[in-house]
Amino acid sequence: MTTVAEPLRVGVFFGSRSVEHEVSVITAQQAIAAMPADRFVPVPVYIAKSGAWYTGDQLLQLDRYKDIDRLIAASTRVTMRPDPSSGGELLEVDGRRGLLGGSARAARFDVAMPLVHGSNGEDGTLQGLFELAALPYCGCDVASAALSMDKRLSRTTLRGAGIPVLDDVMVSRERWQHEADAVCTELARQPGFPMYVKPRRLGSSIGVARVDDGDALRTALAVAFGYDTSILAEAAQDESIEINCSVLGAGDDVRASVCEQPVTRGTLSYADKYLSGAKGKGGAKAPAGGMKSSQRIIPAPISESLTNRIQETAMASFRAIGAAGVTRVDFLVSPASDSFVVNELNTLPGSLSFYLWEASGLHFDALLARLIEMAIARHREQQATTSSIDTWLLTGRPA
Ligand SMILES: Nc1ncnc2c1ncn2[C@@H]1O[C@H](COP(=O)(O)OP(=O)(O)O)[C@@H](O)[C@H]1O
Ligand SMILES: [Mg+2]
């Protein structure tokens, strides 16, 4: 007799209090559309810009996000317990009283798939909640997610692992508020013009600017400090092209995708990345938009030996930060000098980099299945790890 396994319920978390909110909605819709229906049931958990959580079937339709207020009004506001009694239950919140509506269970999930780009999701915060609730979740753990979100900390880690990265100068908002003139003078000297100014913990090119002179520097700093409490300034790599490579796996079991060259003039902007509407190939069912529709060349038009070195370095970077799941490692490559630096790691890349994996022979549905299987394997390992011990510390030494 054969028993048919129940499909796993996958809690797909997206949106959140992040400047990349909309991009996350697209990534989540693409993932939900590509999830193998015989094995997984997607349970959408939309985190609104207010931070409130909602669930319900209407959240599965991308066009409903054109009118967020109506969509939210038609959805069920939920929360979950932050302790191991949670069991993945999404509990209804009584909107009028702002309290849990008894113990009403609106939905339940077996494994969480955080698909929030940027703050309050990609940065270890959601991951921390799933740890507290002892639930399996896809992708990076708390430490590696937090590390990669912070461009300063991730570069320090990569440098320590012998991986080439740019030098940068960090400035705090507090210092900027008190000594703007001195900050501008120092940055004009080091890194000097032309430079790039960027928020320390953001993504999607938001708040990033190429700066050629003192006036532009002031404007760029004012913008970047609107998004973060510290910024980085670094020398512009004007002779470089951008090459990205995705890495999938965990621990020593990792593989690299083919490389892509995103095509732009100057700084790769939010619009270049998500709104260009180029005819990307992509999965048949996945909605358009997101990283999938931006302009790129796959495989990147670089030599085989450079491709190999970039893939090796991408995997080494992934291991150095202790990543898990799917990450995209972004490089600045100088073909003239045959050299490169790692610019940044994205542990929740736009569209989960599925277009790079499809070009590498792994379809989106298989990529998702692999992410979920890895989440469950890690959880099993954690369950087998001791997290509390019996001691007489509080009860007094036994006689
Ligand atoms: N030092 C640099 N030299 C040249 N271009 C850069 C540099 N830093 C950033 N850029 C450009 O700006 C874009 C966004 O910067 P990035 O560091 O990737 O931040 P984000 O996390 O917002 O993607 C990059 O894709 C690239 O086009
Ligand atoms: Mg980037």
Percent of the chain with pLDDT strictly greater than 70: 89
**Which of 167, 168, 206, 208 has most ligand 1 atoms within 8 Å of CB, for mutation?**
208
What integer pLDDT is reported at residue 2 of this predicted model?
Answer: 57
The residue written with tokens 């921390």 in the block is 128
> What CATH number does the domain containing 195 carry?
3.30.1490.20
Cβ atoms of 91 and 105 within 8 Å: the answer is yes
Residue 392 belongs to a domain: no
pLDDT tens sequence across 85-127: 999 999 999 755 555 555 688 999 999 999 999 888 889 999 9
Let me know if residue 377 belongs to a domain.
yes
Same domain, yes or no: 213 and 250 = no
Q: Domain for residue 152, yes or no?
A: yes
Domain-embedded: residue 393: no
Token pair recorded at residue 243: 């090459």
Domain membership of residue 396 (yes or no) is no
Residue 388 domain-assigned (yes or no):
no
Kindly state whether residues 245 and 374 are assigned to the same domain. yes
* 159 and 257 part of one domain: yes
pLDDT at residue 281 greater than cutoff 70 = no
Ligand nearest to the CA of 20: 1
Phi, psi of 357 (to 5 degrees): -75, -35
| Residue 267 CA, ligand 1 centroid: distance in Å | 6
**Structurally, how many domains does the chain consist of?**
3
Does 300 share its domain with 214?
Answer: no
- The answer to whether position 174 is within a domain reads yes
Residue ranges lining ligand 1, Cβ < 6 Å: 166, 196, 198, 202-205, 208, 234, 236-237, 240, 242, 267-268, 330, 332, 343-344
The pLDDT tens digits for 186-214 are 999 999 999 999 999 987 888 999 999 99
Question: Residue 82 sits in which domain range?
Answer: 8-137
* pLDDT at 379 exceeding the cut of 70: yes
* In a shared domain, residues 160 and 284: yes
Q: What is the CATH number of the domain that holds 343?
A: 3.30.470.20
**d(C-alpha 7, C-alpha 376), whole Å:** 14
Q: Report pLDDT for 284.
A: 37
Q: Are residues 256 and 280 in the same domain?
A: yes
Query: Is 249:255 a contact under the CB 8 Å cutoff?
Result: yes
Average pLDDT, rounded, for the chain: 90
Locate the ligand 1 atom nearest the alpha carbon of residue 207 and give its number: 22
User: Phi and psi at residue 84, in whole multiples of 5°?
Assistant: -65, -10
pLDDT at 94: 74
Diameter of the chain measured on Cα atoms: 78
The answer to whether residues 97 and 200 belong to one domain is: no
Query: Residue 45 CB: number of other CB atoms within 10 A?
Result: 26
Dist. CA 234–CA 211, nearest whole Å: 10
Q: Are residues 126 and 159 in the same domain?
A: no
Do 71 and 12 belong to one domain? yes
Residue type, 29: Q
Residue 142 within a domain: no
152 and 282 co-located in one domain: yes
Domain CATH number, residue 42: 3.40.50.20
Q: How far apart are the first and last CA of the chain?
A: 56
What's the pTM?
Answer: 0.91
Domain finish residue from 235, 255, 286: 235
Structure tokens at 69: 């207020």
- 49 and 105 housed in the same domain: yes
Question: Percent of the chain scored above 90 by pLDDT?
Answer: 78
Phi and psi dihedrals of 3, rounded to 5?
-105, 135
HEC profile of the chain: CCCCCCCEEEEEEEECCCCCHHHHHHHHHHHHHHCCCCCEEEEEEEECCCCCEEECHHHHCHHHHHCHHHHHHHCEEEECCCCCCCCCEEEEEECCCCEEEEEEEEEECCEEEECCCCCCCCCCHHHHHHHHCCCCECCCCHHHHHHHHCHHHHHHHHHHCCCCCCCCEEEEHHHHHHCHHHHHHHHHHCCCCCEEEEECCCCCCCCCEEECCHHHHHHHHHHHHHHCCEEEEEECCCCCEEEEEEEEEECCEEEEEEEEEECCCCCCCHHHHHCCCCCCCCCCCCCCCHHHHCCEECCCCCCHHHHHHHHHHHHHHHHHCCCEEEEEEEEEEECCCCEEEEEEEECCCHHHHHHHHHCCCCCHHHHHHHHHHHHHHHHHHHHCCCCCCCCCCCCCCCC
What pLDDT sits at residue 98? 53
- Rounded to 5°, the CA angle 352-357-358 comes to 115
Distance 344 CA to ligand 2 centre (A): 6
Residue 30 and residue 352: Cα distance in Å, rounded? 9
Q: How confident is the model at residue 3 (pLDDT cuts 50, 70, 90)?
A: low
Which atom belonging to ligand 1 lies closest to the Cα atom of 343? 17
Answer whether 243's CB lies under 8 Å from 333's CB. yes
Q: Are residues 130 and 255 in the same domain?
A: no
Which atom of ligand 1 has the smallest separation from the CA of 204?
A: 22
Q: Rounded CA gap, 387 and 380, in Å?
A: 13
